[in-house]
Each structure stands twice: as structure tokens, then as C-alpha cells.
Amino acid sequence: MNTLFISTAFGVIAAYLVVASDRGDEAKALKFSKVKYRKFAANIDDRSKLRDRLLELNRTGPHEYLDFRSSQISTAFLTFAVFALLIWAKSASIAGALVMGAIAGYSAFVLIDRNLTKAVVKRRAQMDAEFPALIEMLTLSISAGQTPLNAMATIAARSECELAAEFAVVTKDVIAGAPFHIALDAMGRRIKSVTIRRFIDAMITAMLRGAPIVEVLQRHAQESRTAHRNQIMTAAGKAEISMMIPVVFLILPVSMLFALWPSLSNLNGFM
């Protein structure tokens, strides 16, 4: 029993390492992505919108989706196999081992998907926080005489924040031959932020109609500062309410107990 368990466990781990080591090989990756797997992956993608989230993280490679799905499925299968083998070795119940392994594998699958969603949400929040400062830099660059495209390229070259990376993508798209307003519109579609989407729409409208761009940028910078300040005040209000919970339910009862304990002890002495 122990020999069978050890050999099976090592076989599963070795198979997983072989698959993981071959992921970088393009020919084997194409071989792995057969028609049936593509249909199965497409069905998962329709439900979870994985490609949209990968696109929002600038993971736009031709095999990003298949690489992520293959890693997710292989990790879930490895988790299922390891948990099933461990429980089978301890309890000798095949049905219980399969059920617990399936639960563990599904949990690993969902956890990887949720980690990707958390990364997307974190990136959105970071870009919203970076937006006012970068728009002010863009306003100063355009006021100094640079074109909007050159100003974005300068900010992308000198900054390492997430929004500057989006400016770099816009610059690459324009260099590749796309019109500037089309590249900006694609950036707005990638970033799921209402503030940035309104800014891009206003900037595209100003460029197409010949309106002064500097005034548009200054107005949106002020609006974004106000919106960011309101978000901070809202978060501070929620944190204040959260801080009241330990005060009311922990510190206050203990303080009252220390204050009333001597009196209760004296009353018990008289009784």
C-alpha cells in the first residue's frame, strides 16, 4: 500500500514537472492546444471573461490565455491528485479520497482565478490613484510645446507606474500605424475606469474638433483630484467604523469590568 502510494505520488509530480517544463516550447504548446481543448477553454472563457482580464493586465500575447488556462488546470489536477493520494493512504477509502481531492482541486482552480481578479482590481485602483499626477505631467508637457503623443511617450519613458505603461502601449500602437485617437480609444476600452474613460473621450473629442487640449486636461485633473479625495474620505469613514468595533466590544467591557470589580468584591464580602 505504501509502495503504491509513493510510486503514484512521484509519478504525478514527475508528469506535472514535465508539462510545466515544456510550456515554453512553442511547438509543444501548439500541440497541447488541440481542437477539443480549445473548445473547452472557450467555454470556460465565455463564463469567466478571462481574456478581458488578461487584456486589462496587458497580457496580450497570442498564447497568454492558453498558458494561463493550462497552468490553472494542471495546478488543480495536481492538487486533486496529491490530496486524493494522501487521504487514500490514511483512510483507505477511495470514494472519500476522490471527493476530498475534487474539492481541493476545485478550490485551487477558483483560488487562482480569484487571485487574477484581485490583481485586476488592484491595478485599477493603482491607476486611479496615479491618474491625477500623470495628467498634470501631461498638461505641463503639452503646455511646454510637446504634442500629446510626444508627451505620452516622454511620460512612458520616464515613469514606471501602471498608467505610464498604458501610455507606452498607445505609443507603440501609433508607431505601428494606428491613428492616435484609435489607440487612445483602445486604451480606454482596456482600462475599466470611468474617470479614465471620460478623460480619453474628452481628449479625443478635443483633438477631433480642434479644441484646446490643455484646458480639457486641467479640468479633468481637478475633477480627478476631487474624486480621489472623496474616495479617501469614504475609506477613512469605513475605517473609523471598523475601529469602533474592538473599542465597543472589547476595550469598553474590559474597562467597565476593571472599574466595577472592586465594588462587586466589597458587596460580596458584606453578603
Give residue-wise pLDDT tens across range 195-205. 888 888 888 88
Q: Judge whether residue 46 has pLDDT over 60.
A: no
Whose CA is closest to 168, among 96, 81, 60? Answer: 60
Produce one character per residue of 119-140: b if its CB has 16 or more CB atoms within 10 Å, e if not.
ebeebbeebbbbbbbbbbbbbe
The residue whose grid cell reads 514606471 is 160
Q: What angle do CA 67, 48, 121 make, to 5 degrees?
A: 85
Which of 61-65, 153-157, 164-168, 210-214 shows the lowest mean pLDDT across its residues? Answer: 61-65
pLDDT at 32 over 50: no
Q: What is the chain's alpha carbon radius of gyration, rounded to the nearest angstrom?
A: 28
pLDDT range class, residue 29, cuts 50, 70, 90 = very low
Give the type of residue at 93: S
Name which of 124, 189, 178 is nearest 149 in CA terms.
178
Residue 124 DSSP symbol: H
Instruction: Give, as one character, the DSSP assignment of residue 191.
Output: S
For helices 94-143 and 162-175, the axis angle rounded to 10 degrees is: 70
In this structure, which amino acid lies at residue 124? R
Round to whole Å and give the CA distance between 260 and 251.
14
Mean pLDDT, residues 202-230 taken together: 80
Q: Express as a percent the part of the chain with pLDDT over 70.
A: 79
Rounded to an integer, the average pLDDT of 121-149 is 84
More confident residue, 116 or 87: 116
Q: Nearest CA to 56 among 180, 204, 165, 173?
A: 165
CB atoms within 10 A of CB 108: 19
Predicted confidence (pLDDT) per residue in 122-132, tens digit: 888 888 888 88
What interhelical angle do 35-48 and 64-91 show, nearest 10? 90
Kindly state the cell numbers that stand for 146: 510637446
Average pLDDT, the chain: 76
* Average of per-residue pLDDT across 57-75: 80
Give the residue, 26 or 168, on which the prediction is more confident: 168
* Banded model confidence at residue 40, pLDDT cuts 50, 70, 90: low
